[in-house]
Amino acid sequence: MSTFDCVIIGGGPGGYVAAIRAAQLGLKTALVEREHMGGQCLNWGCIPSKALMESAKFYDRLSLAKTFGIDGVDPAALHFNWKKAIARKDKIVLKLVRGVEFLMKKNRVEVLKGEAALEGLGRVRVGERLLETKNVLIATGAVPEGSALDGLPAGLVKSVPEFFALDGLPAEIVVWGANGAACETALMLRLSGHSVRLAAPSQRLLGFLDQDLQDYIQKRMHKLGIPVQLNLKRPLATSDGLLQLGNETVPCQLLVNCADRQAVLPALGELSPRLDERGFLLVDEYGRTSLPGVYAAGDVTGLLWAQAASAQGTAAVSHMAGQEHPVDVTNIPVNLYLNPEIASVGMTEEQVKELGLPYRKGEFSLSVNGKALAEGNTEGFVKVLATEPYGEVVGVHVVASNATDLISEAVAHMKLEATLEDIAGVIHAHPTLSEAFWEASFDALERPLHK
Amino acid sequence: MSTFDCVIIGGGPGGYVAAIRAAQLGLKTALVEREHMGGQCLNWGCIPSKALMESAKFYDRLSLAKTFGIDGVDPAALHFNWKKAIARKDKIVLKLVRGVEFLMKKNRVEVLKGEAALEGLGRVRVGERLLETKNVLIATGAVPEGSALDGLPAGLVKSVPEFFALDGLPAEIVVWGANGAACETALMLRLSGHSVRLAAPSQRLLGFLDQDLQDYIQKRMHKLGIPVQLNLKRPLATSDGLLQLGNETVPCQLLVNCADRQAVLPALGELSPRLDERGFLLVDEYGRTSLPGVYAAGDVTGLLWAQAASAQGTAAVSHMAGQEHPVDVTNIPVNLYLNPEIASVGMTEEQVKELGLPYRKGEFSLSVNGKALAEGNTEGFVKVLATEPYGEVVGVHVVASNATDLISEAVAHMKLEATLEDIAGVIHAHPTLSEAFWEASFDALERPLHK
């Protein structure tokens, strides 16, 4: 029987980042992965969706070539080649998966291929092997639930991996879901010239975002020609190959399942860690579950962002090694790769109001930002929320072509408990999109610059 | 005679931003501009060069269309249309100039068109009008010197405004200069399919940057096919329409003058403020010149960055209003719009060494960053320098597609005197380019993640 300080179940960004850190902390570490290193994020989520989105954005952008001063692009000749875009995506994913495999070797993490099952505390079975370990980190992820799609014709509904494996795309596509993955998938399809609609049981599209961002996205979807149908119980197939979505009947040859995700748990034997009402593992700020020596990180805990997974995993293995680095969930940015991108950190305006905090806000539109104009990326705005009387920044919400990078400055400021005056004192390079964050802070201070 | 609290000479980012702030501080303010609001930056510098660079980058990017999965772009049919790219640039510039004009009105800044001349302390003449004022802010900018180009055939040498006014571009172009404007101009021409070389009297290309960045840029220019000739006294025209650059004779139908800039001073009458050895106005951290009630900001002080100009101008009018907000020049980022972009803040490694400070450094290449791979923007790296024993970050140097935005997080950290551990504790959205800065910090802490 092999003995470890730490056995990690799951090779996604919750598991593999934790494995690297665990090894650096001197823990003898094993990682069990049943499919591909990198997990959902690297193989079917964050990375492939962004690679495909870049292809789609490129295709969409070509309609502006003439405006930019480029002659000779014939719109009628253009064709989005799904197979080639997928081939590019595959290449990127493979490079990164190989990279993670290399990092496991470099850090002397033992990687076991197979299904892990807990056989009591401190015992993990992987096929024939029984591992004894001081601690376990469960980072097994989550998968779209999608039972509302049961009963639809075979071949119509595709999971994301099945969708990626298609040789080509049909004329009419429905994406099932109202979360980030669903919105990104729909937008990628639309920008690459496909007819697509979003349908979901949810009440709202991306309901966790600040209302101003939700409103923006709804308008944007409408403008791009992506119909959105919410509050749907389940889609029904009619006899003539159409799909009934509530009161509407629409053509549909492909339905991509991006339903909200449910936890994937390893076999737990007699162990029964506490779960929340949705079935996700309950953890504290060190990633500890209710069971001694059993930690969890990532999607399986209900925090469905890769960066949260890595942070939780790192906090967990640090705790195993006797170091206290609790995860501060209030400072985890969220990021969506729409076009423009969306990113947020901290409280929404609705949350600030609900807490009854006196606050001020500042906003700035990218439509008058010099770099945004130069790039032709003038869609979007930055919104900053700060509490009175000190002007401490408590929420930043960004819609911008590179919002997911712009948010990093806001997270840094919030982590260091910066005030609006602190931000005003940070000189921003000109011309940059980051100036919009600065300008929003000036606006909140009631001394706007370019507004 | 009109009486003001503050008369600002020059409507560039040093002058007009100061005017807005002055008005907000309750100062009765006039701004004198002899040509266009927005100055060099808006009309012939930062903004137009970025607008043209975006056209050039777009044109260059089209060679990758097939790889991204886009069929139907015929490389042989493509043509960079200079007139159309210029027309797009003009539209953007006009919008921003109109914006600044609007801001002057909104903030009740009196704008005077014409040449300003100081007639003693507190007296500024603009044509027929004599303005009496408590304070003057000189923000008159700088222009390329270029006397080395005297004697070349008429029509061969063009200033940047003349270059922008050309109907089309010839086959062989030389850009004279080794500074940011020169490198950006050469790169824009190269990416848009032109044959171009850089030539300058300087010893080094962008010699103010960290040596690793200089080395990178030199290699990049070489790879893109832009010959660079330095240490040249002056170009000589030969009888047969060729240009002699040192030992080389090259074809050249256009030479764009991007020589290093010299201060443009208003007529000063009997006043003689202190100048540095290069002829720029000497100022302290509040923008004060050696003359009472006379401040200066921007290029005319030798700090040749728009963001420095705005910061100095703001510091100056704040000081006029009795507020002390000194400019901290150690935290002014610098930014270059090459492809990829370049940005830096704080000390270079050479400066840290020269000071004899014990330090550690971290580096991270974009070639293994997930978002960079997805975007196809894997050129570049991030370098972080931190002093021992606390790991205080003292320099950050970035080569990346959006380096000029990425630097904002580094500036924020440095302004708040963050350590490497502080940065390590800031959760970065995944996948983003900003993770590369994070990874470089982990690398400096000797616990690299994806390296």
How do residues A160-174 score in pLDDT, each as one tens digit?
A: 999 999 999 999 999
Taking the CA of residue A312 and the nearest CA in chain B, the distance in Å comes to 11
Measure the CA–CA gap between B177 and B204, rounded to whole angstroms. Answer: 10
Catalytic residue positions of A, numbered: 430
Whether B325 shows a pLDDT value over 70: the answer reads yes
The structure tokens listed for A340 are 């423009």
Chain A interface includes B198 (CB < 8 A):
no
Cβ contact (<8 Å) for A429 and B335?
A: yes
State the pLDDT confidence band at A240, using cuts at 50, 70 and 90. Answer: confident
Fold that domain B2-143+262-329 belongs to in CATH? FAD/NAD(P)-binding domain (3.50.50)
Residues of chain A within CATH 3.50.50.60 domain(s) are 2-144+262-330, 147-259
Residues spanned by CATH 3.50.50.60 within chain B? 2-143+262-329, 147-259
Which residues on chain A are in Cβ contact (under 8 Å) with B54?
A: 68, 374-376
Question: Looking at the predicted structure, is the pLDDT value of residue A146 above 90?
Answer: no
CB contact residues (below 8 A), chain B span 88-127, against chain A: 88, 92, 95-96, 99, 103
Tell me: the pLDDT tens digits for A171-216? 999 999 999 999 999 999 999 999 999 999 999 999 999 999 999 9
**pLDDT tens, B253-263?**
999 999 999 99
Output the six-digit token pair for B160.
Answer: 């940047």
Confidence label for B1 from pLDDT (cuts 50, 70 and 90): low
Residue B404 pLDDT > 80? yes
On whether the CB atoms of residues B163 and B34 are closer than 8 A, the answer is no
Phi, psi of B184 (to 5 degrees): -65, -40
Instruction: Return the percentage of chain A with pLDDT > 90, whole number.
Output: 97
Residue the block writes with tokens 């401490």: A392
Q: How high is the pLDDT of residue A1?
A: 65
Q: Check if the interface score ipTM surpasses 0.90.
A: yes
The neighbour count for residue B193, using CB atoms within 10 Å, is 13
CATH superfamily assigned to domain A2-144+262-330: FAD/NAD(P)-binding domain (3.50.50.60)
Q: What digits encode the pLDDT tens for the residues B68-97?
A: 999 999 999 999 999 999 999 999 999 999
Query: According to the 3-state scheme, what is the secondary structure of chain A?
Result: CEEEEEEEECCCCCHHHHHHHHHHCCCCEEEEECCCCCHHHHHCCHHHHHHHHHHHHHHHHHHHHHHHCEECCCHHHCEECHHHHHHHHHHHHHHHHHHHHHHHHHCCCEEEECCEEECCCCEEEECCEEEEEEEEEECCCEEECCHHHCCCCCCCEECHHHHHCCCCCCCEEEEECCCHHHHHHHHHHHHCCCEEEEECCCCCCCCCCCHHHHHHHHHHHHHHCCCEECCCCCCEECCCCEEEECCEEEECCEEEECCCEEECCCECCCCCCCECCCCCECCCCCCECCCCCEEECHHHHCCCCHHHHHHHHHHHHHHHCCCCCCCCHHHCCEEECCCCEEEEEECCHHHHHHCCCCEEEEEEEHHHCHHHHHHCCCCCEEEEEEECCCCEEEEEEEEECCHHHHHHHHHHHHHCCCEHHHHHCCCCCCCCCCHHHHHHHHHHCCCCCCC
Mean of pLDDT over chain B: 97
pLDDT at position A268: 97
pLDDT value at position A243?
94
Q: Give the residue from B432, B435, B441, B447 with the most A CB atoms within 10 Å of its CB, the best one to mutate.
A: B432
Residue A259 has a pLDDT of 97
What positions of B carry a catalytic annotation? 430
pLDDT of residue A326 exceeding 90, the answer is yes
Contact flag A68-B82 (C-beta cutoff 8 Å): no
Query: What pLDDT, in 10s, does the model give residues B335-392?
Result: 999 999 999 999 999 999 999 999 999 999 999 999 999 999 999 999 999 999 999 9
Beta-bridged to residue A237, according to DSSP, are A243
CATH topology of domain A147-259: FAD/NAD(P)-binding domain (3.50.50)
Indicate if the pLDDT at residue A138 is higher than 70: yes
Q: Is A168 on the interface with B (CB under 8 A)?
A: no
Question: Can you read off the two tokens belonging to residue B215?
Answer: 């080395």
Position A239 pLDDT exceeds 80: no
Structure confidence by residue, pLDDT tens digits, A76-109: 999 999 999 999 999 999 999 999 999 999 999 9
What pLDDT digit, counting tens, does each position of B31-71 carry?
999 999 999 999 999 999 999 999 999 999 999 999 999 99
Band of residue A329 on the pLDDT scale cut at 50, 70, 90: confident
Selected residue of A73, A91, A107, A420 to mutate for chain B interface (largest B Cβ count, 10 A): A73
DSSP for B149-188? GTTSPTTTEE-HHHHHT-SS--SEEEEE-SSHHHHHHHHH
Residues 11-70 of chain A whose Cβ lies under 8 A from any Cβ of chain B: 13, 17, 20-21, 24, 41-42, 46-47, 50-51, 53-55, 58-59, 61-62, 64-70
pLDDT reading at B330 higher than 90 = no
- Whether residue A31 contacts residue A104, with contact meaning beta carbons closer than 8 Å, is answered with yes
Q: How far is CA A350 from the centre of its chain?
A: 22
Q: Kind and range of the H or E element at B308? A: helix B306-320
* Res. B230 pLDDT band, cuts 50 70 90: very high
Question: Which tens digit of pLDDT belongs to each residue from A364-408?
Answer: 999 999 999 999 999 999 999 999 999 999 999 999 999 999 999
Give percent of chain A with pLDDT exceeding 70.
100
**pLDDT given at position A241:** 79
* CB contact at 8 A, A341 and A400: yes
- pLDDT tens across B182-223, in order? 999 999 999 999 999 999 999 999 999 999 999 999 999 999
Q: Which amino acid is at A177?
A: G
Of B434 and A1, the one with more pLDDT: B434
CATH 3.30.390.30 domain position(s) in chain B: 340-444
Which residue in this structure is represented by tokens 């449910």?
A262
Q: Which of chain B's residues have a Cβ under 8 Å away from the Cβ of A88?
A: 67-69
Q: Which fold has domain A340-444?
A: Enolase-like; domain 1 (3.30.390)
Q: Whole-prediction pTM value? A: 0.97
Model pLDDT, residue A99:
97
pLDDT at B274: 98
Q: Per the CB < 8 Å rule, is B333 touching A429?
A: yes
**At B345, phi and psi to the nearest 5?**
-145, 145
Q: Read off the pLDDT band of A2 (50, 70, 90).
A: confident
Dihedral angle of Cα A433, A434, A436, A442, to the nearest 10 degrees: -160
Residue showing tokens 């003349």: B162
